[in-house]
Structure 1
Amino acid sequence: EKKIFTVQGPYPVIRGLLRARGWVERKFHRASSQPWWQHEPSLGTLETLHAPWPPQEEEQEQCVEDPDGNHDLMSRLVQDQVPYFIWTNHCSAVNVQLLRHDQVLNHYTQVDAFATKEGLCRNLRNLPWFAQADPNTFFPRCYQLGDADERQAFIEDFRLTAARSLLKMALERAGDTLAELEQQPLKPSKEPGESKQVPMSQIPYSMPPTAGPVSLLPPRRVEEALWICGQHLASLRHHDIDGDFVFPCMMGTNWDHFMQDYYRMTHEGAGLALSGAQTEQCRSMLQCLAEHLPQLGMEGDHNVWILKPGAKSRGRGIVCTDQLEEVLQLAGGCTGPSAQVNKWVVQKYVERPLLIFGTKFDVRQWFLVTNWNPLTIWFYRDSYLRFCSQPFSLRCLEPSGHLCNVSIQKQFRTAQGQQHPQIPPDLIWSCHQFQSYLEQVGQANAWHEVMVPGMKAAVVGVLHSTQHLVGARKSSFELYGADFLFGEDCQPWLLEINTSPTMAPSSVVTRRLCARVQRDTLRVIIDRKNDPACLTGAFELIYKE
């Protein structure tokens, strides 16, 4: 019946579920003095793994119970047989070109097009060519610092964002709220169970003035910022789909002086007096820009960016900063060789995230692709939240308050002095706990009406933009883990997409959910092949061409 499988990596749940279906495991030879991949010609493996065994992951392999040794005996009997279901940590474990057409593999090739930070940064810009969707509505703008044009585009973007931020801070300190441009955090409703629309108003995340006399910036800085934003607005109004970056020519601006004064206002609390006419001009300018810049609200007014190594995972090497010079220095853009710069991408930080108990969080959302042609996408109805261990503050950009990755936060769990008492010690919530919280704060409909539809649209948009780049092998499938952040208006922002999402049970919630998503993946891939009407658990088919 072709019920022989191979699993490489720490997946005891997959092993147990397949054995329960009557499958027999063909194990890898790891005891030999030769590398194990040289013993697996039927897996199509000719080269060494890019990641050695055991995998350098958080999770460790767990033994599946076999008290009588029956499974081990059966495994020895099929060591010369072809496995028809192959589950590995990495696609690089197998030479896909040598696989038979009826061997099922849990990976596709060339998924770096969307499963790396560089790939997303590069390819999502092409989405308007493939679908009527704007990536700027769900993916914070991003630049590859190894490309000279993109590096310059980032510098221009940083400066333009500084000009907008200066106008926002000047209005805020003048007492003008810009209600229609900004976002509102969730607040408890007056009556239990009351549901209401997500309003839009300003939250003062700006740096408060320092003690003592407040210095004032030169009045011309407002006029200069208005002129810069006006030039940008004119460029945006004439932009078309063929344009890569939309930045005006601002050769007359003394950027050194402008940025020095901007930093004084942001970091030192310097003031900026506005006349009545300037106040109205600033309001009008930001309102016009909001019609063309979907990210105007979430970008805040601190000009914080997040610098990421292009091909690393688990939050390694990520830095948040609000200084242009620091970004370029950290990435090697000023003094380092170009090879070093190629490893970095820089992305606009979501300065106005939805917070729970004053704490930042993100969501790990699974989805499954079972075919690339026609594109077929399954969305998992269960997900989980990952909290930071420290309260959110733009005055402190340390990882403990800004990077939700479990690998990062476990370094800070012992220092829980500032952690909100209602944040769980393991820093994990299920999406059902989150929905209960939303109901308590008067946003009972936000999850199903705003958040989930937005995440689904983002996933479909990403895969549309990269569909032509992926190796679309018919007998393959792949489970992905997308990480989303929500803005104060509950709109989701895609951060990244991961291959081989961790199945390590780091909490009670993830122990349950990770087992379920593996169970339901096998339902879709194996059971549904024989019975199209079978249950698929929490997987929902959301797109099929």
Structure 2
Amino acid sequence: MITDFSVFRKKYDLTPDIKIFIVVGGYGTLRKALKERGWFENPDKHSPVFDLKFAIRNDNPVDLKDFQITNHFQKNNVITTKVGLSYSLKSLIWWNTVDVNTFFPRCYDLTDGNELEDFKQEYRFQRAESIVKLYVMNPENMPNIERLIVAICLAEKRLKDIDDQLDDPMLELNVTEKEWDIIKEDKLTAEKVAEINEMKWYQKAKARLDNKDGGGAMLAEYEQQYYEEPIDTPAKQITKVATQKKGASAKQQQPVVQDDEDEDEEYGGEEGDEYGDEDYGEEETATVDNRKAGAKGPIEGKVYPYMAICEQLLDKLKSKDPQYDINGFRNTWILKPGGKSRGRGIKCFRSYEKMMAHMRKVHARQWVVQKYIENPLLILKKKFDIRQWVLVTDWNPLTIWVYNECYVRFSPKDYDPKKISDRYMHLTNNAIVSKCEAFHESEIEGNMWSCDEFSEYLQTTFGGKQGKDIFQEVIWPQMSKYVVCSLESVQDMVEARKNSFEFLGYDFMVDEQLKVWLIEVNSSPSMDHSTHVTERLVKMVLSDLPKVILDYPRARKKAQCDTGGFVLCHKNKIMVEKPGNANRLNLALEGKKITK
């Protein structure tokens, strides 16, 4: 291997003014663009002789010369991995007043004991919230009154915080095992109901709600509407459940590495269903199906105990929790192995126990679980996500470019939230959905839309009589804002280096309220010509890339420099001072007792 520039130039008869580049991967358009500039391609992909290197993996030599340009920063995994992004966004509070919960669905690292406990509590609280929501949606299909009462108490508890606990040391902010034992089941046995009604804490909770809402009298009247006898005997149950659960065994997978694989890798996942191991059934399905079949919620003239309490409670939860709407009522979560890309190994769960069993079976090094967006915006009955290209040319000051065109990726099958085991209804990555038989039967060619097609649909559907440009006025500002927020959160963690840059693929989803949610940030995003949409866009973005990384830094009049489709989205006005070595710092906080 030749390691000396002068020896290399002599071997290939290159003059000193000719630049040398290395491209690793299928970036043919970038190669062409550089050669058109008179650059020479070094055929040795591992050679240290280059002026610019663009590669899938971050395998640059540690002794890079100042003039050498590379497409990766060291420690970029703090944002380009699922685990890294989850942790890093928690640091956004130090850089921006934007609440991360307003744009990033709750996410937990299940290999961390504290995060696992936090997730367990969140899962349980959302179970309680779902019970209350379902009751308000269709009280005709009311669950056991005991489950409802405990769920109401837990939803009230969810509204409290650490300050309330300081005022009342006896206050328990978590879901206790006794409470969970009641709400976790879809249907309580007669013996269980009798046992619950003998519990003093339950009796106090019920009495408090009865006094607050007149629930005791209302409950008696409600019982008379359905039964010849009141249901204070445990033999009477209110819950009506319908369907059987269906299960499918999870496939054994090999252990995965901690860092996510680069997206621009050949898909090597297993064939068949990897997405989920259970379909919806039970009480939630019966409730929603009955409502769609004709039930219209509360029936005039009938009495529903605790309804006013539930409605007020949900209003308070919605005002406090920015993720209230995406929570839905099915308590669905997405489990992702920390080291896989392109949707591989992803499974959806509603059951906490089944999720834990799957983790024990697969033995991945890292797992993250993220809240499933239960109210996705659908187009032609299909789920979709948005791929947005982003370019970071400096971390200090933080300098961010976004490409002025994104594209939309659709699932090949119509969305059905009850069928979480069918990944072709839930995933949109082309490497996976292209294997679906319905892929070529979809009315959406290639299961992709250009930015213009997406924009036209939004304007036609939501623009109103004035023809408001929903994409430019509603969607695009949110995407740009969250790109900046996410990168701000790691600006002091990534190792900044002049003449390095990072090309990223951001994935967003949109909910029914046209609210944008950040899902993932991908390093080395796939630049395949898989469809007519990506073929055009990939050629454009790779042709424009040299304009930003080569021409713009040297342009005297930046405003007049041609940067193609790349738009300067953000540039910090101040430099960020990184903390020095803290090994010798004394971080102890000392004090003394207050004397009277």
In the TM superposition, 1:368-383 aligns within 5 A as: 368-383=391-406
2:434 alignment partner in structure 1? 410
Paired residue type of 2:501:
F
2:384 alignment partner in structure 1? 361
In the TM superposition, 1:259-274 aligns within 5 A as: 259-261=184-186, 264-269=282-287
2:55 alignment partner in structure 1? 88
- Are 2:441 and 1:441 aligned? no
1:8 alignment partner in structure 2? 24
CA distance in 2, matches of 1:523, 1:135: 33
1:540 alignment partner in structure 2? 567
Do 1:147 and 1:342's aligned partners in 2 also have CA atoms closer than 8 Å?
Answer: no
Displacement after TM superposition at 1:253 (Å): 3.3
2:375 to 349, 352, 367: 352
Displacement after TM superposition at 1:324 (Å): 1.3
Displacement after TM superposition at 1:174 (Å): 3.6
2:354 alignment partner in structure 1? 326
- Are 2:19 and 1:19 aligned? no
2:95 alignment partner in structure 1? 130
Name structure 2 gaps, 5 residues minimum: 1-16, 167-171, 188-280, 291-296, 573-596
CA distance in 2, matches of 1:509, 1:153: 41
Paired residue type of 2:143:
L
- Are 2:497 and 1:473 aligned? yes
Which structure has the larger Rg over C-alpha atoms? 2
Displacement after TM superposition at 1:497 (Å): 0.5
Does the residue aligned with 2:522 lie in a helix, a strand or coil? strand
TM-score for both structures, normalised by structure 1: 0.77
Deviations 1:436-491 (A, max 9, x none): 11122133432112211111111111111111110111110111000000011111
1:219 alignment partner in structure 2? 145
Do 1:118 and 1:311's aligned partners in 2 also have CA atoms closer than 8 Å?
Answer: no
CA distance in 2, matches of 1:520, 1:238: 55
Do 2:413 and 2:425's aligned partners in 1 also have CA atoms closer than 8 Å?
Answer: yes
CA distance in 1, matches of 2:318, 2:439: 40
Does the residue aligned with 2:325 lie in a helix, a strand or coil? coil
Paired residue type of 1:105:
T
Deviations 1:110-164 (A, max 9, x none): 1110100000111111211221111111110001111111111111111111111
Do 1:145 and 1:331's aligned partners in 2 also have CA atoms closer than 8 Å?
Answer: no
Does the residue aligned with 2:406 lie in a helix, a strand or coil? strand
Displacement after TM superposition at 1:268 (Å): 5.0
2:307 alignment partner in structure 1? 279
Structure 2 vs 1, CA of residues 330 and 299 (structure 1 numbering), >3 Å: closer, same or farther? same
Structure 2 vs 1, CA of residues 537 and 544 (structure 1 numbering), >3 Å: closer, same or farther? same
2:71 to 106, 109, 116: 106
Do 2:383 and 2:415's aligned partners in 1 also have CA atoms closer than 8 Å?
Answer: yes
1:210 alignment partner in structure 2? none
Does the residue aligned with 1:470 lie in a helix, a strand or coil? coil
Do 2:125 and 2:155's aligned partners in 1 also have CA atoms closer than 8 Å?
Answer: yes
1:306 alignment partner in structure 2? 334
Total equivalences in the alignment: 440
CA distance in 2, matches of 1:281, 1:12: 62
In the TM superposition, 1:518-533 aligns within 5 A as: 518-531=542-555, 532=558, 533=560
Does the residue aligned with 1:537 lie in a helix, a strand or coil? coil
Displacement after TM superposition at 1:342 (Å): 3.9
1:59 alignment partner in structure 2? none
Structure 2 vs 1, CA of residues 237 and 341 (structure 1 numbering), >3 Å: closer, same or farther? farther
1:157 alignment partner in structure 2? 122
TM-score for both structures, normalised by structure 2: 0.70
Displacement after TM superposition at 1:250 (Å): 3.0
CA distance in 2, matches of 1:434, 1:513: 15
Structure 2 vs 1, CA of residues 252 and 364 (structure 1 numbering), >3 Å: closer, same or farther? closer
CA distance in 1, matches of 2:374, 2:36: 48
Paired residue type of 1:256:
D
1:139 alignment partner in structure 2? 104
2:593 alignment partner in structure 1? none
Deviations 1:65-118 (A, max 9, x none): xxxxxxxxxxxxxxxxx32111111112x22x2110000111111111010000
Do 1:146 and 1:341's aligned partners in 2 also have CA atoms closer than 8 Å?
Answer: no
1:431 to 421, 426, 451: 451
Paired residue type of 1:372:
W
CA distance in 1, matches of 2:526, 2:165: 41
CA distance in 2, matches of 1:415, 1:25: 38
CA distance in 1, matches of 2:510, 2:483: 15
Q: Identity across aligned pairs (percent)?
A: 35
2:251 alignment partner in structure 1? none
Does the residue aligned with 2:124 lie in a helix, a strand or coil? helix
2:264 alignment partner in structure 1? none
2:506 alignment partner in structure 1? 482
